Amino acid sequence: MENNIALERANPQLPHHNKRTELIKKIKKNKWIYLMIAPGILYFFIYKYIPMYGLIIAFQEYKPYLGISGSEWVGLKHFERLFTSPDFWMIFRNTLVLFALQIIVFFPVPIIIALMLNEVRNVAFKRSVQMLIYIPHFMSWVVIVSISFVMLTLDGGIINSLLEAMGFEKINFLMNPDTFRPMYILQVMWREAGWGTIIFLAAIAAVDPQLYEAAKMDGANRLRQAWHITLPTIRSVIVVLLILKIGDVLELGFEHVYLLLNASNREVGEIFDTYVYTAGLKQGQFSYSTAVGFFKGIVGLILVICANWLAKKAGEEGIY
C-alpha cells in the first residue's frame, strides 16, 4: 500500500492512466452493447445536437440569401416581440390546458389499463385486448383525425345520426370551440393509451410473485394487492415517465393539433407548434419562429430539472 502511494506521488499521471485503462477495458468488455446504442447516439447527434447551431438565427434578422454569418444581429428583439404579442398568452394558455389534460386525464390511463390487463387470467383474451389497443398507435394522426371527422361530421356522421334518431339536435363537434379539447384528449387516449401500457406491463412483470402470495395469506384481495404491492413497486417507472412527460410541456405535437384547427376553434386550439409553423413557414418569419421554438426548449429544460429535483427530494432516483 505504501509502495503504491509512493509510486503515485512520484508519477502523478499514474491514477489518470489507470482510470483510462479501466475505461478502455470496460468498453472492450461491453463492445456489443455500445455497438447497439451507436445508431441511437448518431441519430440524436445528427438530428438533435447539430441543428442547435441554427438557434443563432433567433438573435438575428435572418435572411436566407445572406446566411447565418451575413444576417444582422438584433439581440433579444424577437423574444421581446413574442412576450409582448397579444397572441402569446392565448397560445401559452392553450398549450398549458392541453398539457394539463394529458397529465391529469391521459397519463393515468395506461397505468390503469396495465393494472387491469395484469388481472386477466385468460391469456387468449388478454392478448386480443392488447393487440386491439396497440393497433391505433401505428396509425398516423391523419388517419385518426379522418376517422373522427367521418364519425362526428354533421353531414352523415354516425354520432350525429344517433343523436338525431334519439330526438336530440345535431352538434357541430368539429367547429365548436367547447368540444375541441375533449375531442383532442380522447383522440390522444385512443391512439397512445395502448402503446403506453407496454412499459407498465413490463414493469409489473418484474414484481416478485412472492409478494402477492404473502398478501393473499394476509387476506388482501386483488384491489389491495394492486394498491399496496403493484403500484409501489412500479412507482419509480411512473416517476421517470412523468418527468419525461413534463419535459414535453410545450411539445404537444404539431400534426394532431394542426389537423383539428379551423377558424372557429383557433382561440382554444392554437399552440406553440402550430404558431411556429404559421409564422415560420407560411409567413417566412424564420428568426421569430426560431425564437418561439427556443423559448419552448428552455421552458421544457427548466421543468425537467425541477421535476427531477422534486423526485429526488421525494426519495426517487429521477432521470439523472
Question: pLDDT digit string (tens) for 131-190?
Answer: 888 889 888 899 999 998 989 888 878 888 888 888 888 888 888 889 999 999 999 999
Beta-carbon contacts of 195 under 8 Å, excluding residues fewer than 6 positions away, are: 110, 134, 137
Question: Which three cell numbers mark 153?
Answer: 361530421
The answer to whether residue 10 scores a pLDDT higher than 70 is no
Chain-wide mean pLDDT for the chain? 83
- Give the residue extent of every domain in the chain: 1-60, 76-313
pLDDT value for 180: 92
Q: Do you know the residue count of the chain?
A: 320
Of the chain, the percentage scoring pLDDT greater than 90 comes to: 9
pLDDT value for 8: 47
Output 243 or 88, whichever has higher pLDDT. Answer: 88
Could you please state the CATH topology (level 3) that the domain comprising 76-313 is classified under: MetI-like fold (1.10.3720)
Residue 166 C-beta-side C-alpha neighbours within 13 Å: 8
Q: CA 189, CA 144: separation in Å to the nearest integer?
A: 11
pLDDT value for 186: 92
242, 155 Cβ separation under 8 angstroms: no
Question: pLDDT digit string (tens) for 70-106?
Answer: 888 888 888 998 888 888 889 889 988 988 898 899 9
Residue 134 C-beta-side C-alpha neighbours within 13 Å: 11
What is the pTM for the complete model shown?
0.79
Question: pLDDT digit string (tens) for 11-70?
Answer: 555 455 677 788 788 888 888 888 898 898 999 899 888 888 888 988 988 888 888 888
Instruction: Specify the residue for cell string 407498465.
Output: 200
pLDDT band at 302 (very low <50, low <70, confident <90, very high): confident
Question: pLDDT digit string (tens) for 183-241?
Answer: 999 999 999 888 888 888 888 888 888 888 888 887 878 888 888 888 888 888 888 88
